[in-house]
Each structure stands twice: as structure tokens, then as C-alpha cells.
């Protein structure tokens, strides 16, 4: 393409409508400097250029230009990417790789390049049925909880009946999360007042997966917010935010869920919209782009994006209260921190969680190597790319165990499960995995 056409941001006609709809200069923004390469897990695994961010961008440009066909190989390469966004933190040119990847994945789904009958059914069952009907999802959660507490899960495993399952499901079964009712709506009142002087009114997003397995994190989030002068509004029966859908190319469902969220929480009625999940928060902060062309929701989506805050980001912004120390602890509990990819790279929130952890006098924060590297969870990556996910999980567990930490803090439900399962497989069952906000809530409670 000529310099003149690039300078004018001319959109090219191409067989890839999604990428062609972007200003062509967006695709050209990558300088191929290579600074992203050392940060990319898939490039580290294979050493192949096509498995790197700049390699994938080159493929996108070639397909958009019609130099390469829009093929299954292209779709598989987009699927192989973790979407961890570490490349965006390293990129000196500010390439919006997340937007390029989501656009490319959306086109691969639109063209059904990876579809099989089984894949189509699983995507419909999970992303277009369970995750868009919160009551159904909670019902399934309760049934799974009964299966676990009645001992049926232990019985099935003990009798090795899992051998009867299809191979892929059999491999995933050990990672089945522990369901922990009561769920958020039963733990948290719709409106909880500030404990002292009211300074802010905030809305809390309870999530979908978090609601089933980490409702205690939502409860702790409310406790910490009310302790710091916030009245907390928690809508009932909340929907999924749409993060998994956008990340996996289903933009229409992601837009539908975004509209439902905005209908549930009027962003003009609160000072902040609080998320405690790194992956969800990164997506929630892009509602403005997701609904930019929606004449009814675009303005409110922009306000939503402006108001959305990660819990640690918000607490540091308003000046959270440092917990009181009743007696000098000795020795202190060794703590390490794994950074959620979409919190550190997607939201650029890294110092705030550490500020919270360093305020806990009972703990010694010990940094682990590659704290900002992906653990292999990456939404549903550990399902779609199990080999690479397992390699990253083991790499992460090795670094965490090297710190000799008794507690691992992380701020995303996918990371929480991936690390918990990895520690169990490594025999480190005594290591606690916990959200930083739970530790802060415990410190406040210990003052009482």
C-alpha cells in the first residue's frame, strides 16, 4: 500500500470485513521491532515467528490485503494466542493488539472456520445458554454442589468411573471447581451502608463464575468498601459481563450482555462501578468501544467505562485505611503475588494490589519471578489449548513454590483456579490461594 493511502487512513476492500473495517493504519502500526517477543508465552514455547504478536499481525495484514487466504490455519493461529496482552505492555508503538485479535477472532467465528458439531454444541451450551441465563447457571451450580457435598464426586473418582467419559472431559474433570454456596445475593444485601461517614456510592459487579466459586470474595469486597466510607449497591441476579464472549469472537452476544449490564446499573447514579476480577474488569472498561456505534447506549457506555474501577485501583484512589496492628507478628507469613494478565496488561493496574498487600503487617510480600506472565488459564484457554496451558501452569507453579510462600494472592477467578489446581497437583496443598481483598477484609475483622 502506498504511503499516501496509509496517510489518508483509507480502508481497503478485502475478504476480511472485520479487519478491513479498521483504519488500515491500525494494522500498519506494528513496527516489527521485536520488543514483544520476550514477553510472549507462545513464542517462548515454540520459537516460531508466526506464534508471536508481530507474526500474527503480519498474518492479519496479509489476509486483509488478499495476499493469503482466509483459512483454517489462520483461525487456528488466532486461537493459539492466549490474549494475555503482555505484548501491549512491551510495545513502544502502542499497538492495540487486543482489538486486532478480537476482530480477527470474530471473523473466524463468523466464517465457521473452526466449527465442528461438538464445538458448536459446547459453545451454544456454555456461552449462549448458561452464561446468558444467570438463574440457570446458579441452578447448575447448586446441582454440582450437591454432587460434591453428597460424596458422589469422590465416589465417581474412587471407582474410576471417569474412565467412561470422553477423553477431553476426563482430562478436565480433576479441575472441576468447588462450588461454594450461598451465592452473592444471599451473602450481600442489595444496598449496604457505609460503616462510618458516607463518602461515596458505588455499584458492585458480582460476576458469574465468581458468584459460584468465590462469593466470599464479593462479600469481602463489600466489607472493605463499607469500611472505607462507601455505600454499596449490588444488583440482584446479575448477568455475565460478556468478557468470555468478546475474547472468543462472539461480539454480538458480548454487546447484548453489555446492554443488560448498563440497564441494570445506571453509571450516572454511582461514583464508581467496582470489579474484583481482572479479566472481567478489563472487558468492562471497553464497553465504550464495544457499543460505540449503538445510538441508544453509546453515551452511557462511555460513562460506564469512565466509572469502572478495579477494587484495588479504587481503594488506592480514595485512600483506603491501613489496618491496625494489635501485636507485632513474628514471624510474618510469607506472601507472594501473581498478577492477572488482564489486570496488569489490560487495565495497567499493578501497584495498587501491592499497596494493599504491603499494608498487611502480618505478611511479608515476597516477589516471584515472572509475576506478570500468564498462568495458562486465559479465559477458556486451558480447555481449548490444554498442552500449552499445562506448560504455563507448571512454569508458574515452579516460580511460586520457589518463593516458599504460604499464601499466593491473585485477583482473577481463572488464575485462582489454575494456580490452586497446579499447587494441588504439585503436592503443595498447604499453600493458600486468596484474593488480596480477602486478606484486607480479614485484617479489618481482626481489629474488632
Q: Let me know whether 359 and 427 are in one domain.
A: yes
Q: Let me know whether 369 and 274 are in one domain.
A: no
Q: Let me know whether 106 and 121 are in one domain.
A: no
Q: Let me know whether 188 and 217 are in one domain.
A: yes
Sign of CA dihedral 22, 24, 26, 30: positive
Q: Let me know whether 199 and 294 are in one domain.
A: yes
C-alpha to C-alpha distance for 357 and 368, rounded to whole angstroms: 14
Determine, yes or no, domain membership for 326: no
Q: Please say whether the beta carbons of 434 and 407 come within 8 A.
A: yes
Determine, yes or no, domain membership for 151: yes
pLDDT for res 192: 97
Confidence of residue 23 (pLDDT cuts 50, 70, 90): low
Angle 311-318/351-358 helices, nearest 10 degrees? 70
Determine, yes or no, domain membership for 309: yes
Determine, yes or no, domain membership for 337: yes
Confidence of residue 17 (pLDDT cuts 50, 70, 90): low
pLDDT for res 229: 97
pLDDT for res 329: 60
| The last residue of a domain, from among 63, 83, 110 | 110
pLDDT for res 8: 25
Joined together, the cell numbers standing for residue 109 give: 467465528
Give the chain's domain count.
Answer: 4
Peptide bond into 331 cis (omega under 30): yes
pLDDT for res 126: 85
CATH (domain of 364): 3.40.50
Q: Which of 70, 71, 101 is nearest to 84 (CA)?
A: 101
pLDDT tens per residue, range 27-54 = 778 888 999 999 999 999 999 999 999 9
Mean pLDDT over 126-130 rounds to: 87
The edge-to-edge listing of strands for the beta sheet with 230-233 is 191-192, 230-233, 200-204, 272-275, 308-310
Q: Let me know whether 151 and 207 are in one domain.
A: no
Determine, yes or no, domain membership for 325: no
Mean pLDDT over 376-396 rounds to: 92
Q: Let me know whether 265 and 347 are in one domain.
A: no
Mean pLDDT over 73-89 rounds to: 95
Q: Let me know whether 104 and 125 are in one domain.
A: no
Determine, yes or no, domain membership for 61: yes
pLDDT for res 53: 95
Q: Let me know whether 190 and 314 are in one domain.
A: yes
Q: What is the pTM of this model?
A: 0.90
CATH (domain of 105): 1.10.1060.10
Confidence of residue 380 (pLDDT cuts 50, 70, 90): confident
Mean pLDDT over 12-30 rounds to: 62
Q: Which of 133, 121, 145 is nearest to 212 (CA)?
A: 145
Q: Let me know whether 164 and 254 are in one domain.
A: no
Across the chain, what does the average pLDDT equal? 90
| The last residue of a domain, from among 152, 175, 198 | 175
Determine, yes or no, domain membership for 14: yes
Determine, yes or no, domain membership for 274: yes
Q: Which residues of 371-385 are buried (b: 16+ CB within 10 A; e: fewer)?
A: bbbbbbbbbbbbbeb
| The last residue of a domain, from among 77, 110, 143 | 110
pLDDT tens per residue, range 334-366 = 999 999 999 999 999 999 999 999 999 899 999
Q: Let me know whether 15 and 129 are in one domain.
A: no
pLDDT tens per residue, range 163-220 = 887 777 777 788 788 899 999 999 999 999 999 899 999 999 999 989 999 999 999 9
Q: Let me know whether 406 and 429 are in one domain.
A: yes
* Domain of residue 199, residue span: 184-318
pLDDT for res 21: 67
Confidence of residue 6 (pLDDT cuts 50, 70, 90): very low
pLDDT tens per residue, range 267-289 = 999 999 999 999 999 999 999 99
Amino acid at each position: 500500500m502506498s504511503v499516501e493511502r496509509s496517510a489518508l487512513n483509507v480502508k481497503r476492500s478485502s475478504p476480511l470485513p472485520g479487519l478491513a473495517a479498521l483504519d488500515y493504519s491500525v494494522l500498519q502500526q506494528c513496527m516489527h521491532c521485536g520488543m514483544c517477543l520476550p514477553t510472549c508465552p507462545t513464542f517462548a514455547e515454540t520459537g516460531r515467528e508466526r506464534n508471536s504478536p508481530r507474526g500474527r499481525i503480519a498474518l492479519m495484514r496479509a489476509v486483509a490485503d488478499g495476499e493469503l487466504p482466509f483459512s483454517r490455519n489462520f483461525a487456528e493461529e488466532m486461537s493459539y494466542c492466549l490474549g494475555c496482552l503482555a505484548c501491549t505492555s512491551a510495545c513502544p508503538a502502542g499497538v492495540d493488539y487486543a482489538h486486532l485479535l478480537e476482530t480477527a477472532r470474530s471473523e473466524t467465528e463468523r466464517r465457521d472456520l473452526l466449527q465442528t458439531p461438538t464445538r458448536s454444541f459446547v459453545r451454544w451450551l456454555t456461552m449462549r445458554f448458561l452464561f446468558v441465563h444467570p438463574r440457570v447457571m446458579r441452578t447448575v451450580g447448586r446441582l454440582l454442589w450437591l454432587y460434591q457435598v453428597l460424596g458422589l464426586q469422590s465416589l465417581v473418582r474412587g471407582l474410576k468411573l471417569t474412565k467412561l467419559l470422553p477423553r477431553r472431559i476426563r482430562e478436565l474433570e480433576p479441575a472441576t471447581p468447588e462450588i461454594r454456596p450461598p451465592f452473592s445475593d444471599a451473602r450481600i444485601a442489595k444496598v449496604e451502608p457505609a460503616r462510618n461517614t458516607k463518602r461515596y456510592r458505588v455499584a458492585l459487579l458480582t460476576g458469574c463464575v465468581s458468584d459460584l466459586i468465590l462469593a466470599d470474595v464479593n462479600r469481602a469486597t463489600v466489607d472493605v468498601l463499607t469500611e472505607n466510607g462507601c455505600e454499596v449497591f449490588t444488583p440482584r441476579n446479575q448477568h455475565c459481563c460478556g468478557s468470555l464472549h468478546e475474547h472468543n469472537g462472539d461480539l454480538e452476544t458480548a454487546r447484548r450482555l453489555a446492554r443488560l449490564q448498563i440497564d441494570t446499573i445506571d453509571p450516572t447514579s454511582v461514583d464508581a462501578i467496582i470489579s474484583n476480577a481482572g479479566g472481567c474488569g478489563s472487558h468492562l472498561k471497553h464497553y465504550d468501544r464495544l457499543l460505540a456505534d449503538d445510538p441508544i447506549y453509546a453515551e452511557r457506555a462511555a460513562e460506564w467505562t469512565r466509572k469502572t474501577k478495579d477494587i484495588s485501583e479504587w481503594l488506592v484512589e480514595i485512600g483506603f485505611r491501613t489496618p491496625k496492628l494489635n501485636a507485632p507478628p513474628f514471624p510474618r507469613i510469607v506472601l507472594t503475588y501473581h498478577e492477572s494478565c488482564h489486570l496488569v496488561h489490560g487495565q495497567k493496574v499493578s501497584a495498587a494490589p501491592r499497596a494493599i498487600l504491603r499494608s498487611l503487617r502480618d505478611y511479608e510480600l515476597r516477589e516471584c519471578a515472572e509475576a506478570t506472565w500468564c498462568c495458562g488459564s486465559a479465559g477458556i484457554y486451558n480447555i481449548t489449548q490444554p498442552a500449552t496451558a499445562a506448560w504455563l501452569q507448571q512454569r508458574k507453579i515452579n516460580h511460586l513454590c520457589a518463593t516458599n510462600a504460604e499464601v499466593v494472592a491473585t485477583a482473577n477467578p481463572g488464575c485462582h483456579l489454575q494456580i490452586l489446581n497446579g499447587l494441588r497437583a504439585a503436592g503443595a496443598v498447604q499453600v493458600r490461594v486468596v484474593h488480596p481483598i480477602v486478606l484486607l477484609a480479614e485484617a479489618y475483622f481482626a481489629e474488632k
